[in-house]
Amino acid sequence: MEYSRMEKEQLQERLAQMQQAYNAYAQMHLTLNMARGKPETRQLDLSDGLFTALQAGDAMKGADNMDVRNYGVLTGLAEAKALFADLLGVRKENVIIGGASSLNLMFDYISQCMTHGVCGHAPWFGQKIKFLCPVPGYDRHFGILEYFGIEMIGIDMDESGPDMDAIESWVQDPQVKGMFCVPKYSNPGGVTFSAQTVDRIAKLQPAAKDFRIIWDNAYGIHDFSDTPDTLTEIFSACEKYGTEDHIIEVASFAKVTFPGSCISCIVASDNNLAQIERRMSFQIINQDKVSQLRHINFFKDADGVRAHMRRQAEILRPKFETVLRNFSEKLDGKGIAKWTKPNGGYFVSLDVLDGCAKRVVELCKQCGLVLTGAGATYPYGKDPRDRNIRIAPTFPSTAELQQAMDVLCVCIEIACIEKLLSA
């Protein structure tokens, strides 16, 4: 029965039961963490072959015939470009290989727009700039925008992607210079933009001539279900409308091999790439080609990466199943929470009753379970309805995850019943 339809006495009784369960967990002095989307040790072990994929005495050259141990090849080894191009379905000529982090590529790109402008347009610095931010979204995207003083406008998401009516209307404002988005298995909703959404994004005719979308394809190959989502390739969609310049795509092997010690890429039109490459030529002589060659030797080709991702999925699938089973067994039908059911990626997005997310996170913390801070999935850390919580189930062991879900569901009940009783 929906809790909102229950009598006060029934709710009080349920609250007392949940408080008893909570006190029992509190006495266990738990130290559980579902805060950040990090792979667990078994996932990292899958990539230990990287340590032997390039050893003293091996050929130290790729197709470019440049010694990877030495300076040179600013934009990355040809094989690394071909690998990302194959995985993302883009032209290898439009790929530049980055360092160990795609976040770094995004930060540098926005920084470049601030100081030098976009392809001949005025620098953004000193102008009033706004960016569209599909919500709930990735806190580090919001962090970059906040760092540069760019105003963020939240755009609601549903199961087909961001609200395109709102986006089409906002881009009429010349101060709106761009958008950050995660088009496949979004962080945290696990949403993949529908073909229609991608087409409408490709078709946008913004008032700002220097409008750019950061297409953060962080989870493009992170399927864990037998029925994976498919994402329409954005540059092909844009070709129809001549809007390729709007898109700056990034991706990395952070959740493929070792986060923080992997390879990344930026994909863009010829115009954008020329500007990015020029800036990079002042920033660095070359990225870590040793790491690039290690990755190439380890995977051989895109099929090698896909096979590796199937092994990752074997580890991840049961964890997501645990989360969804617990939510469904403990919360279904109570009308106090709803959650996403992703086919890939790293997160589940949970919405509790309005005004309850902070309380849930606080209750969990007092019981030894750390969650991503309430509000983190919204610009400025402010969830206007205080209802969204990002669930990151990958890092804890299966046993820890079960315990964390037990605690979380009790805390959700307590916070939501308290709210209903106070209404």
The CA–CA distances, whole Å, from 31 to 326, 366, 374, 396 equal 20, 10, 19, 11
Cα 248 from chain centre: 16
Shortest Å, Cβ 254 to ligand PLP: 3
Q: Which residues pair with 390 in a beta bridge?
A: 349
Smallest gap, in angstroms, from Cβ of residue 305 to ligand PLP?
Answer: 15
Nearer to ligand PLP, 162 or 409 (CB): 162
Cβ 299 to ligand PLP, closest distance in Å?
17
Binding site for ligand PLP (CB under 6 A): 37, 101-103, 138, 182, 187, 216, 218, 252, 254, 259, 264
Choose among 348, 344, 342: nearest CA to 313.
344
Give the nearer residue to ligand PLP in terms of CB position, either 216 or 413: 216
Q: Between 101 and 272, name the residue whose CB sits nearer to ligand PLP.
A: 101
Contact 374, 383 (CB under 8 A): yes
Q: Which is nearer to ligand PLP, 37 or 344 (CB)?
A: 37
- Write down the least CB distance from residue 191 to ligand PLP, Å: 12
Shortest distance in whole angstroms from residue 220 CB to ligand PLP: 10
Given a contact cutoff of 8 angstroms between Cβ atoms, the answer to whether 309 and 221 are in contact is yes
Question: Which of these, 345, 230, 290, lies nearest to 80 by C-alpha position?
Answer: 290
Residue 404 CB, shortest distance to ligand PLP, in Å, is: 19
* Closest distance of CB 296 from ligand PLP, Å: 18
* Amino acid of residue 349: S
Contact 387, 403 (CB under 8 A): no
In whole angstroms, the minimum distance from the beta carbon of 51 to ligand PLP comes to 20
184 vs 359 by CB, closer to ligand PLP: 184
User: Token pair of 305, please?
Assistant: 């990466």
Judge whether 371 and 379 are in contact, CB under 8 Å. Answer: no
Pick the closer one to ligand PLP by CB: 186 or 197: 186
CB 179, min distance to ligand PLP, A = 14
Find the helix packing angle between 302-331 and 398-422, rounded to 10°.
Answer: 40
Kindly give, in sequence order, each residue whose CB lies less than 8 Å from that of residue 334, ignoring residues fewer than 6 positions away: 1, 2, 3, 413, 416
| Residue 319 tokens, joined | 């964890």
Q: How far is CA 249 from CA 84, 145, 267, 398, in A?
A: 11, 17, 5, 34
Q: Which is nearer to ligand PLP, 206 or 259 (CB)?
A: 259
CB of 16 to ligand PLP, least distance (A): 39
Give the integer Cα–Cα distance in Å for 82 and 86: 6
State which residue, 98 or 206, has the beta carbon closest to ligand PLP: 98
Name beta bridge partners: 176: 130
User: In the bound complex, what is the minimum distance in angstroms from residue 187's beta carbon to ligand PLP?
Assistant: 4
Q: Which of 84, 106, 79 lies closest to 95 in space, CA to CA?
A: 84
Q: How far apart are CA 61 and CA 272, in angstroms?
A: 29
With beta carbons less than 8 A apart as the criterion, state whether 71 and 65 touch. Answer: no
d(CA 80, CA 115): 30
> How many residues are given for the chain?
423
Q: Quick count: other Cβ atoms within 10 Å of Cβ 332?
A: 10
Q: Which is nearer to ligand PLP, 359 or 390 (CB)?
A: 390
Nearer to ligand PLP, 25 or 134 (CB): 134
Q: Residue 18 or residue 256: which is nearer to ligand PLP going by CB?
A: 256
Beta pairing class for 212-216 and 176-181: parallel
